[in-house]
Amino acid sequence: MRVALFTPLGVSAVLALAAPWAGGRLPPRMAAWLLTLASLVAALGTATALGMTAFTLIGQIPVVAAEGEWSPGVLAAQAPVNSLVAAVCAIALAGCAGALAVSAWRQTKVWLTARRECRALPTGSDLAVVDDPVPQAFALPGSPGRVVVSSGMLRALSADERTALLAHERAHLRHRHHVFLLVLRLASALDPLLRPVARAGSFAVERWADEEAGTLVGDRPLVARAVARAALAAKRAPRQSLAATGGPVPQRVRALLAPPTPLRRDLVVAHALLMLICCFSLALSADDMDELFDTASPGHLHTEAGQVHHHHHHRDR
């Protein structure tokens, strides 16, 4: 049980080490999906494992034991980890839950701001041009989302580059990339080990929009030029936006100038196996935890005591 309990932490550590490498060796769309799903499974798995471990100590509190009708002494004797480890897990879980609450609050504020800004923009099109000499272009998620571009950015790019840039931003909206980023951020808040996964996933999302734009305009080097020139021209995009200048721009440009990344099935299988291992270990831990508390319940103790008494009585005869 002890190994199964801490398997989600091991999965998170493996993902943190492998995600930056693996994400760059998969097609961006596949990388974004796999990294987002894997981080979600690992974060929930880690939180659940910490919660189960912490409850082996919480369950020994007399008030909690009385409510649950189990023996604190038996629970302490049969617990898979000692009290110190369980206490550390309880503190870690409280810290992670607090970080998740703060991150969720911030993301909610950002989302509400984005919706408010979307409603303030002129209607009738998914493109809003603002008269601003500062070059900027970004996708603003909302209902519906909008692509916002400044007059300064339009002047900084050629006609073809503007087409490529707008295709990039529309790809963000079409595929709801803000949802991917939200899951990645919340997962890394709940499980800090997953911060490298969140960064790799965010980069994969930008690369996904780059490749989508390259397919739509039929010219990947053009998208590379548009991204590079937009990044040189841009000053700062609002935090709630998905900007074409996001992520490590030199890496994105190099990827667009290189041949498209082929699908590697071994990496897809490896991600799927990690998620299955995480889920299977949690199922084993939950089953063992259920058995642990059953063992500490009065009914089980009375049954055992009766069996011992019957054995001694039969031997005496």
Residue-wise pLDDT tens digits, 136-173: 888 888 777 888 888 889 999 999 999 999 999 999 99
According to DSSP H, which parts of the chain are helical? 2-23, 28-58, 62-68, 72-78, 83-120, 151-156, 159-174, 177-190, 195-217, 220-233, 249-257, 265-295, 298-316
Q: Using CA atoms, how far apart are residues 251 and 206, in angstroms rounded to an integer?
A: 11
Q: 3-state SS string over 183-235?
A: HHHHHHHHCHHHHHHHHHHHHHHHHHHHHHHHHHHCCHHHHHHHHHHHHHHCC
Cβ contact 211:28 at 8 Å: yes
- Res 138: pLDDT: 85
- Res 239: pLDDT: 47
| Residue numbers of the chain with a pLDDT score lower than 70 | 1-2, 123-124, 235-247, 299-317
- Res 123: pLDDT: 67
pLDDT digits (tens, 9 = 90+) for 257-298: 999 999 999 999 999 999 999 999 999 988 888 888 888 777
- Res 216: pLDDT: 94
- The answer to whether the predicted template modeling score (pTM) of the entire model surpasses 0.95 is no
Name the token pair of 255.
């990827």
- Res 293: pLDDT: 83
Closest CA to 166 of 111, 132, 128: 128
Q: 3-state SS string over 124-159?
A: CCCEEEECCCCCCEEEECCCCCEEEEEHHHHHHCCH
- Res 240: pLDDT: 47
Question: Which DSSP category does 262 fall into?
Answer: P
